[in-house]
Amino acid sequence: MIIHTDRSAHQHPVGSEITPLSAYRNRRQWMLGAMALGAAGAWSPQRAVAQGVDRPGRLSPISSVPSSVPGARTVEKPTSYRDATTYNNYYEFGTDKSDPARLADKLKTRPWSVSIEGLVGKPGTYDLERLLRLAPMEERIYRLRCVEGWSMVIPWVGYSLAALIREVQPLGSAKYVEFFTLADPDTMPGLRSNVLQWPYVEALRLDEANHPLTLLAFGMYGEMLPNQNGAPLRLVVPWKYGFKSGKSLVRIRFTEKQPATSWNMAAPREYGFYSNVNPNVPHPRWSQATERRIGDDGGLLARRRKTEMFNGYEPQVGQLYAGMDLRRFY
Ligand SMILES: Nc1nc2c(c(=O)[nH]1)N[C@H]1C(S)=C(S)[C@@H](COP(=O)(O)O)O[C@H]1N2
Ligand SMILES: [Mo]
């Protein structure tokens, strides 16, 4: 991961950066309309970069209603589709931010299924079509903050992971949920590197996994997920550092004991199990006090914003950690 030494002044978002949701939705309606007319043509991230075009349209539209879950719709301006689909962390395709957009085309997302295992009443293979129909799709506009010190605002489409958990009926003994993502050496050149152990694995406490903000995402910007963002389904846990949100999930296991997780195994001093966004706990190699919003003017004097406790979701999730020392459980 990158070392940041930027120490410029903390700043809060200014009013002009805040887009009313209605304006965003109007723009999105316009985009979907343009797609229906065939105006979007063969959009691809590569061509978008080459042409400076910034619009979705390559993938199937996925319908959704605005979420009513408290905290699920920040009014901050969404990151451009182009930035969100060309600046990615998906180490299975390489560690450079541009690798996933360049190489994830190879990922085969159909047919797809997720194996549900461990301490549940209804284990088994759940295919994608069934998962897509399990609960109504909602649009949620979440901030996502990477532990490296950058952040984005993304309109995701999906439903609360809690809906799937309810469906599979965890046993009373289940305390944690473990998420395994795809590791396919034929399509993922990054697996040749040993920066992490593969498959990528992350985990949550069962109550964190059941929190209504924890999203099982199938789409973003009104379309099915692009491969580089974790197609065909991924997790989004907005109050934790981005690495907790595994992409391209293939296996979900319910356990009694706290599972081992990829980043924690790779660098235990740097990445703990909880990994809640906490500006008061510096990464051992850099401060977490501020962040750079992708798409803000770059350059040496790029503004950095103050990072908020739990990435701004403290009113919704703070209670999950009542009484815990969040410096010890980082
Ligand atoms: N399978 C898998 N999931 C992953 C990663 C990864 O390398 N592999 N990177 C994580 C990290 S570090 C971040 S910040 C987010 C980035 O999501 P985005 O590229 O959609 O913004 O995905 C997370 N999920
Ligand atoms: Mo990250």
Give residue 148 CA to ligand 2 midpoint distance, Å.
6
Per-residue confidence band for 50, with pLDDT thresholds at 50, 70 and 90: very low
- Say whether pLDDT at 164 is over 90: yes
Residue nearest to atom 21 of ligand 1 (CA): 88
Cα 243 to Cα 266: distance, rounded to the nearest angstrom: 13
Cα 28 to Cα 62: distance, rounded to the nearest angstrom: 12
Cα 290 to Cα 248: distance, rounded to the nearest angstrom: 29
- Does ligand 1 have an atom closer than 6 angstroms to the CB of 85? no
Query: Is 3 within a domain?
Result: no
Q: What is the mean pLDDT of residues 42-59?
A: 56
Query: Is 59 within a domain?
Result: yes
Query: Is 142 within a domain?
Result: yes
Which residues have C-beta within 8 Å of that of residue 292, sequence separation ≥ 6? 6, 149, 150, 151, 302, 303, 304, 305
- Does ligand 1 have an atom closer than 6 angstroms to the CB of 242? yes
Q: What is the mean pLDDT of residues 161-166?
A: 99
Model pTM score: 0.86
Determine the pLDDT at residue 58. 81
- Say whether pLDDT at 24 is over 60: no
Check: CB of residue 65 under 8 Å from CB of residue 139. Answer: yes
Determine the pLDDT at residue 44. 47
Query: Is 281 within a domain?
Result: no
- Does ligand 1 have an atom closer than 6 angstroms to the CB of 311? no
The region, left, alpha or beta by phi > 0 then psi within -120 to 50, assigned to residue 223 is: beta
Give residue 63 CA to ligand 2 midpoint distance, Å.
28
CATH number at residue 103: 3.90.420.10
Determine the pLDDT at residue 298. 64
Determine the pLDDT at residue 300. 62
More confident residue, 297 or 73: 73
The dihedral over CA atoms of 311, 316, 320, 321, expressed in degrees to the nearest 10, equals: 40
Q: What is the mean pLDDT of residues 255-267?
A: 98
Residue nearest to atom 24 of ligand 1 (CA): 246
The count of structural domains within the chain is 1
Determine the pLDDT at residue 308. 98
Min mean pLDDT across 7-21, 189-203, 271-285 is at 7-21
Q: What is the mean pLDDT of the chain?
A: 88
Give residue 123 CA to ligand 2 midpoint distance, Å.
30
| Closest atom of ligand 1 to CA, residue 144 | 21
| Closest atom of ligand 1 to CA, residue 90 | 7
Which residue of 243, 283, 307 sits with most ligand 1 atoms within 8 Å of its CB, as the best mutation to test the pocket?
A: 243
Query: Is 128 within a domain?
Result: yes
Determine the pLDDT at residue 220. 97
Hey, is 255 helix, strand or coil? Answer: strand
Give residue 202 CA to ligand 2 midpoint distance, Å.
13
Check: CB of residue 227 under 8 Å from CB of residue 218. Answer: no
The region, left, alpha or beta by phi > 0 then psi within -120 to 50, assigned to residue 204 is: beta
Query: Is 284 within a domain?
Result: no
Domain that holds residue 195: 19-266
- Say whether pLDDT at 34 is over 50: no
- Say whether pLDDT at 74 is over 80: yes
- Say whether pLDDT at 124 is over 60: yes
Q: What percent of the chain has pLDDT over 90?
A: 80
Pick the most confident of 40-44, 98-102, 325-329.
Answer: 98-102
Among 54, 264, 245, residue whose Cα is nearest residue 144: 245
Query: Is 307 within a domain?
Result: no
Query: Is 288 within a domain?
Result: no
